Structure 1
Amino acid sequence: MNQEPTSDPLEDARQTFVRSWGALGSSWGVSRTMAMVHALLLVTDPPLSTDDVMAELGASRGNANMNLRELVGWGLVRRVVVEGERREYFEAEKDVWTMFCTIARERKRREIEPALALLEACLATTKGLRSGKAKAFHKQLSELAQFVGTANAVLERISASEQSKVIPAILKWLK
């Protein structure tokens, strides 16, 4: 991605957003390139082809393809048909609430649910143990499982609310 300032303030802001979103991606557990591809598609109309993404970001074909597939898998990007074109084109989900719900649902599925399953398995293994160490371990994991279970329930409600306008309305009211 061209990093030199242009005479176009909109293009400068667009480039800054894409680069910065990419840098933030690593703190969210997402690769820099994946976050940059998402940001690029989020702020670009019309849809882009893999070649367009490669040219904009200076990414290799393999890297662009892999990240586009991953974003499609997350449900944050979709393939679109461009009439008269044989190439695949991609566009990002642009509705912020839908995007947030999609991310919440995927993080719940990929991170929270496996953590909860691990905790429950460890709790089942230590449930009947009588030593002081075992009881302390079981108590600590019980509290952690209760917290993770609550987080799971909250994410379930939030991610299911994209059809409902109740939670977005409540959040707007809380501002």
Structure 2
Amino acid sequence: MQFNEAKNKFIQTWGALGSQWGINKTMAQIHALLMVSPEAVSMEEIMEELHISRGNASMNLRALMDWGIVYKEFKQGERREFFTAEKDLDELAVKIAKERSKREIKPALKVLKEVSSIAGDASAEQKHFTEQTTKLYDFVLKADNMLEKATEMNDNWLGRLVIKIMK
């Protein structure tokens, strides 16, 4: 397999995986392209490489920057904007985990807390509903707390040491 074929296969596969993880295919493809590019890439190069419109590229780059996994880079003497992705995979995983928690887990916890604390006639069906949603809330909260602890490990010296040993 030649380099360009391998690069294209990686970008296409990362795009397909992205759509399974809940982000759009183009956003994942842009991230893949930037991740494997040794230098910052201009929006025009992204558009050309992925065969997408300026609006599509712009919207998805903005979303990736909101996630904190893509950065704008300025080059001396250039009017164009250049973009690069987070290259440190540990840092990338932490940022994605934090963002997914904020966007997905926290809203789910809010709903579970709300629906598990309903008042009413206390029928058998309602008691069962309340018990199950309370258990689910507790489980999701524990999972979110574990995720938070894991992402915080990277912020302290002991956590970094544990991660280094695990590698």
Shorter-chain TM-score above 0.5: yes
Q: Distance in 1 between matches of 2:22 and 2:106?
A: 17
1:70 equivalent in structure 2 = 63
1:56 and 2:49 aligned: yes
1:94 to 75, 82, 87: 87
Contact 2:67 2:96 in 1 (8 A): yes
Closer/same/farther in 2, CA of residues 23 and 149 from structure 1, 3 Å limit: same
Indicate if the aligned counterparts of 2:11 and 2:32 stay in contact, CA closer than 8 A.
yes
Q: TM-score, normalised by structure 2?
A: 0.92
Q: Is the 8 A contact 1:23 1:32 kept in 2?
A: yes
Cα pair 1:54 1:60 within 8 Å, conserved? yes
Structure 2 vs 1, CA of residues 161 and 174 (structure 1 numbering), >3 Å: closer, same or farther? Answer: closer
Question: Can you list the C-alpha shifts for 1:145-173, whole angstroms capped at 9, x where unaligned?
Answer: 01100111011112222323645654665
1:79 aligned to 64, 67, 72, which one?
72
The residue that corresponds to 2:153 in the other structure is 161
Cα RMSD over matched residues? 1.8
Residue number in structure 1 paired with 2:133: 141
TM-score (norm 1): 0.88
Whole-Å separation in 2 of the counterparts to 1:163 and 1:170: 12
Write out per-residue CA displacement over residues 25-67 of structure 1, whole angstroms, 9 at most, x where no aligned residue. Answer: 1111111111000000000021011111001111111110011
Equivalent position of 1:131 in the other structure: 123
Residue 5 of structure 2 corresponds to residue 22 of structure 1: no
Instruction: State the distance in 2 between where 1:43 and 1:22 align.
Output: 14
Is 2:30 the partner of 1:37? yes
2:121 matches 1:121: no
Partner amino acid, structure 2, of 1:137 = F
For structure 2, the residue ranges without an aligned partner over 5 or more in a row are none
Q: Where do 5+ consecutive residues of structure 1 fail to align?
A: none
Change (3 A) 1:61 1:95: same
- Report % sequence identity: 41
2:46 partner SS: helix
Task: State whether residues 129 and 135 of structure 1, in contact with CA within 8 Å, keep that contact through their aligned partners in structure 2.
Answer: no
Shift of 1:12: 2.3
| Cα pair distance change 1:98/1:141, threshold 3 Å | same
Q: In the superposition, relative to structure 1, how do residues 10 and 166 fare at CA in structure 2: closer, same or farther (>3 Å)?
A: farther
Q: Which has the higher contact order (CA 8 A, sep 6+)?
A: 1
State the partner residue of 1:150: 142
Q: Say which SS state the counterpart of residue 114 (structure 1) adopts.
A: helix
Report how far residue 112 of structure 1 moved: 0.3
Q: How many equivalent residue pairs?
A: 167
> 1:159 and 1:57, CA in 2 relative to 1: closer, same or farther beyond 3 A?
same
